[in-house]
Chain A
Amino acid sequence: KAGVTQTPRYLIKTRGQQVTLSCSPISGHRSVSWYQQTPGQGLQFLFEYFSETQRNKGNFPGRFSGRQFSNSRSEMNVSTLELGDSALYLCASSSGTGHREEKLFFGSGTQLSVL
């Protein structure tokens, strides 16, 4: 079974630009979550999608958005990039049954650098 796939692996953008990151979950998984990882803040929850609907949202500004498609693939978008958005963006998938005790399986992430 293939794992969580994230593309691209690396991105370099400049301030003010926008970026779209892609995530394909494990086959059969219906929930996709996004996390931001930085050396200073660690892993922070961005949002979770299930059945094309945002089910949960973290404390990030509206510049961070996402969506999920009918095949469970997900994208996240960051608009008007700031230097502080430089981070590793991780996607995680889970079965999506809604039970709290769901294991999250992570992809390798997209390393975003904002110059």
Chain B
Amino acid sequence: GESVGLHLPTLSVQEGDNSIINCAYSNSASDYFIWYKQESGKGPQFIIDIRSNMDKRQGQRVTVLLNKTVKHLSLQIAATQPGDSAVYFCAENRHTGNQFYFGTGTSLTVIP
């Protein structure tokens, strides 16, 4: 079946290092992707988005890369800080209106 999945369920990085969180998707019709950050006790928080006609998009300390050939999405966080510790989700829109399909999430832990 089709799914949005993450390669690693957990990731630990040292403070100051760069983090890379990966996401694989299987629906080639997906044309819009969002990365969300969810801290304990809170709802998902929008981080950055990317359309399928782009390969890369940068925000503040974050970069999203999209490889449509292998259906792979990644989120890069530069100079990771303790406040970045959270669960990160990728979400895809599969041409179904405003409905998004979410990955299972990667838990990022930043070690001081």
Contacts and interface: CB of A to CB of B under 8 A. Distances in A.
Contacts of A4: 43
Contact of B96 (A44, A56, A90, A103): A56
Given A33-B99, A42-B105, A48-B99, A101 B51 contact: yes
Interface stretch (A65-73, A78-86, A106-114): A106-114
Contact of B97 (A43, A56, A90): A56
A22 interface: no
A66 to B, nearest CB: 14
Contacts, number: 66
Interface residues of A, number: 29
Given A42-B105, A43-B89, A100 B43 contact: no
B49 interface: yes
A24 interface: no
Contacts of A6: 43
B34 interface: yes
Contact of B46 (A35, A58, A98, A104): A104
Contacts of B51: 101
Given A44-B102, A101-B32, 17 more contacts: A31-B98, A33-B99, A43-B44, A45-B99, A45-B100, A48-B97, A50-B98, A55-B98, A56-B97, A96-B98, A98-B98, A101-B49, A101-B93, A104-B98, A106-B43, A108-B41, A109-B43
Interface of B: 31-32, 34, 36, 41-46, 49, 51, 89, 91, 93, 95-105
